[in-house]
Structure 1
Amino acid sequence: MTDSTILDAVNAFAESWTETDTRMKEAFLSLKDYLNTKEGVSLDFHSRPGVSYSLRARHAAQTDRDLFVMVDVIDDDPAERWLSVCFYGDMITDPDEEGDLIPDGLKGSDGYCFDMDEFDADKLAYLKARFDEACTNAA
Structure 2
Amino acid sequence: MEKLDALLDEWEDTETLTRKAFIAIKDHIMAMEGITLEFNARPGVSYSLRPRHTNQSKRNLFAMADVIDDDPKERWLSVCFYEDMITDPDEEGDLIPEGLMGDDGYCFDLDEYDESAVEYIKTRLTEAFKSAVAES
Bin for the TM-score computed over the shorter chain? over 0.9
Cα distance in structure 1, aligned partners of 2:4 and 2:25: 12
Structure 2 unaligned segments of length 5 or more: list them.
none
Between 1 and 2, higher relative CO (CA 8 Å, sep ≥ 6) is seen in 2
Structure 1 match to 2:88? 94
SS of residue in 2 equivalent to 1:38: coil
Structure 2 match to 1:76? 70
- Displacement of 1:55: 0.5
Q: Does 1:26 align with 2:23?
A: no
1:94-113 alignment runs, 5 A limit: 94-113=88-107
- Displacement of 1:41: 1.5
SS of residue in 2 equivalent to 1:98: coil
- Displacement of 1:85: 0.3
Letter in 2 for 1:131: L
SS of residue in 2 equivalent to 1:90: helix
Letter in 2 for 1:110: D
Alignment RMSD, CA only? Answer: 0.6
Write the deviation string for residues 86-119 of structure 1: whole angstroms up to 9, x where unpaired.
0000000000000000000000000000000000
SS of residue in 2 equivalent to 1:68: coil
Structure 1 unaligned segments of length 5 or more: list them.
1-5
- Displacement of 1:54: 0.4
- Displacement of 1:43: 1.3
Cα distance in structure 1, aligned partners of 2:6 and 2:71: 19
Letter in 1 for 2:27: D
- Displacement of 1:11: 1.3
Structure 2 match to 1:11? 5
Structure 2 match to 1:3? none
Structure 1 match to 2:110? 116
Structure 1 match to 2:129? 135
Structure 1 match to 2:36? 42
